[in-house]
Amino acid sequence: MNRLDMKEKIATRVPFLINECGDELKNAEKKRRKFVADFPISKIRSMDIDDYVIGKGADNRSFCYRLERDMDSLGSIRGGNAFKFGVYFGQTSTDSSRIYRSSDIWGSNPHEAFPLVINAIASLLESAVTGDRTAVVKNRLSVMFKGKILFLYFPEQFVPIYSEVHLNFFIAQLDIKGSFKSPTDMQRALMEYRETWPELVKQPIPLFMRFLYDIFGHPEDEKPQTGVTTNTPLLDDAIKGAQFIPQLPAMSAIPDTPKTKNGKAKKTDFEKHQKQSKRTGDRGELIVIALEEIRLIQAGKPELASSIEHISQKNDSAGYDILSFNEDGTPRQIEVKATQGSNLDRGFYISVNELEQSRVLNNYYIYFVFSTMTTKPRIHPVKHPVLNGTGFDLQPITFYVRVKAKPE
């Protein structure tokens, strides 16, 4: 998401969320502190099985019960079965006996498995204390269980979102660069993103979680808030697959207007379309910046690569999106036109300001980005484009109307 858009979202939605769930999150923080005090890292290995397992009755206040049921406000890990804890007390779908049970990956029986699970939890926490990220990632605890443990003990390091699908979704929607080898890496990346916003740092960390779900929705939603599909690739994957192409892709026949089952033309959801276009444009700009950095570094100009500016993140009225450079150090002003399509069948929009800049700036470029929301974007740069009569047909579609004062 563009930082100008994010700034607006923070200004409008964070105060609403503070008012809506501030007290709930304060109570949840008290429970988190009490949990950590009751189960300090130094005493994890001395825990007995009944202090640990979920399923020993309504009054059960065990490690797993409190972690899963008592602190839902700090990110839910409900769903699935209790085998995610390694060991539990209860029944299965095929056996109604209430007994100690364990996941096969930890051993042949619960009493053999329990010491291994407890040692894994203690080792996880000790690795986090020392900053051993490799050991944290390799730890064998189930993904969501491990994620919540890490947040409860180290809330300043790990965001309280534990599903790998959800983490991947938010990383993609925020266009966070990086190679993420595990959910733990993505948790930390989201926390590092939060650190770039003083307005978010001032608030409880779980409010950041609520904020992300508030503005983007859930990946399971039929219509996520962003108006884009939930399988948007990570930014790094899009950049790795991106290529410059020497010419504009061939045009194809414009498809017929989409029809309903009754044969009537479908109504355009303009709000959704606007969100899709904005999201596509934001992603296209980041892809272009990355390729410009690569171009200049390969040309032996790393100092120019590091000087590229994302103008539209600061000023959306400059008439171009990116300030890059030619190899001789002269500026290259780039306007990005991104589409989810594979060609320019439906044309593109250009503002009066962008059109004016294209006429007066000698190194003005339009970078067309195709298949933007895939892992194989294609980019075609056009230098100093003449947008009327030379391959393009410029058509005025809006007018400014000033109302005349009525005579007295």
pLDDT in tens, 358-370: 889 999 999 999 9
Query: Within this chain, do residues 275 and 188 fall inside the same structural domain, yes or no?
Result: no
Q: Per-residue pLDDT for 60 more than 80?
A: no
Mean pLDDT value across residues 180-200: 95
Residues ≥6 apart with Cβ < 8 Å to 191:
156, 157, 158, 159, 205
Please report, for the domain that includes residue 319, its CATH number: 3.40.1350
Residue 255 lies in a domain: no
Query: Within this chain, do residues 70 and 129 fall inside the same structural domain, yes or no?
Result: yes
Residue 157 corresponds to which amino acid? Q
Query: Within this chain, do residues 197 and 316 fall inside the same structural domain, yes or no?
Result: no
Q: What's the pLDDT at 316?
A: 81
pLDDT digits (tens, 9 = 90+) for 138-174: 999 999 999 999 999 999 999 999 999 999 999 999 9
Query: Within this chain, do residues 60 and 115 fall inside the same structural domain, yes or no?
Result: yes
Residue 282 corresponds to which amino acid? D
Residue 203 lies in a domain: yes
Residue 400 lies in a domain: yes
Task: Measure the CA–CA gap between 143 and 77, rounded to whole angstroms.
Answer: 10
Query: Within this chain, do residues 170 and 319 fall inside the same structural domain, yes or no?
Result: no
Residues shown for the chain? 408
Among residues 363, 386, 391, 361, which one has the least CA distance to residue 248? 391
Task: Measure the CA–CA gap between 387 and 393, rounded to whole angstroms.
Answer: 6
Residue 223 lies in a domain: no
Q: Are 365 and 383 in contact (CB under 8 A)?
A: yes
Q: What's the pLDDT at 213?
A: 96
Residue 119 lies in a domain: yes
What pTM does this model have?
0.84
Query: Within this chain, do residues 87 and 126 fall inside the same structural domain, yes or no?
Result: yes
Mean pLDDT value across residues 212-241: 80
Q: What's the pLDDT at 88?
A: 95
- Residue 153 structure tokens: 């003990």
Q: Per-residue pLDDT for 268 more than 70?
A: no
Residue 15 in 3-state DSSP?
Answer: helix
Residue 256 lies in a domain: no
Residue with tokens 């000087």: 307
Query: Within this chain, do residues 240 and 183 fall inside the same structural domain, yes or no?
Result: no
Mean pLDDT value across residues 54-76: 88
Residues ≥6 apart with Cβ < 8 Å to 267:
none
DSSP secondary structure string for all residues of 25-53: HHHHHHHHHHHHHHS-GGGGGG--HHHH-
Task: Measure the CA–CA gap between 378 and 367, rounded to whole angstroms.
Answer: 10
Residue 146 lies in a domain: yes
High-pLDDT (> 70) share of the chain, % = 90
Query: Within this chain, do residues 20 and 126 fall inside the same structural domain, yes or no?
Result: yes
High-pLDDT (> 90) share of the chain, % = 73
Query: Within this chain, do residues 291 and 162 fall inside the same structural domain, yes or no?
Result: no
State the total domains in the chain. 2
Residue 259 lies in a domain: no
Residues ≥6 apart with Cβ < 8 Å to 31:
66, 70, 71, 74
Q: Per-residue pLDDT for 282 more than 60?
A: yes
pLDDT digits (tens, 9 = 90+) for 243-263: 999 999 998 765 555 556 566
pLDDT digits (tens, 9 = 90+) for 77-94: 998 789 999 999 999 989
Q: Per-residue pLDDT for 180 more than 70?
A: yes
Residue 279 corresponds to which amino acid? R
- Residue 86 structure tokens: 């390694």
Query: Within this chain, do residues 285 and 190 fall inside the same structural domain, yes or no?
Result: no
Q: What does the mean pLDDT of the chain come to?
A: 90
Task: Measure the CA–CA gap between 274 and 254, rounded to whole angstroms.
Answer: 20
φ and ψ of 326, to 5 deg: -80, 170
Task: Measure the CA–CA gap between 385 and 382, rounded to whole angstroms.
Answer: 6
Query: Within this chain, do residues 286 and 165 fall inside the same structural domain, yes or no?
Result: no
pLDDT band for position 393 (50/70/90)? confident
Question: How much of the chain is in helix, strand and coil states, percent to nearest 5?
Answer: 45, 10, 45
φ and ψ of 367, to 5 deg: -100, 115
C-alpha distances in angstroms, 70 versus 36, 79, 198, 230?
A: 13, 15, 30, 30
Q: Are 284 and 372 in contact (CB under 8 A)?
A: yes
pLDDT digits (tens, 9 = 90+) for 331-347: 999 999 999 999 988 88
Give Rg (Cα) of the chain: 27
Task: Measure the CA–CA gap between 374 and 249, rounded to whole angstroms.
Answer: 16
Domain that holds residue 72: 3-216
- Residue 5 structure tokens: 């858009």
Q: What's the pLDDT at 266?
A: 57
CA 193 to chain centre: 10
Q: Are 287 and 242 in contact (CB under 8 A)?
A: yes
Q: Per-residue pLDDT for 388 more than 90?
A: no
Query: Within this chain, do residues 184 and 243 fall inside the same structural domain, yes or no?
Result: no
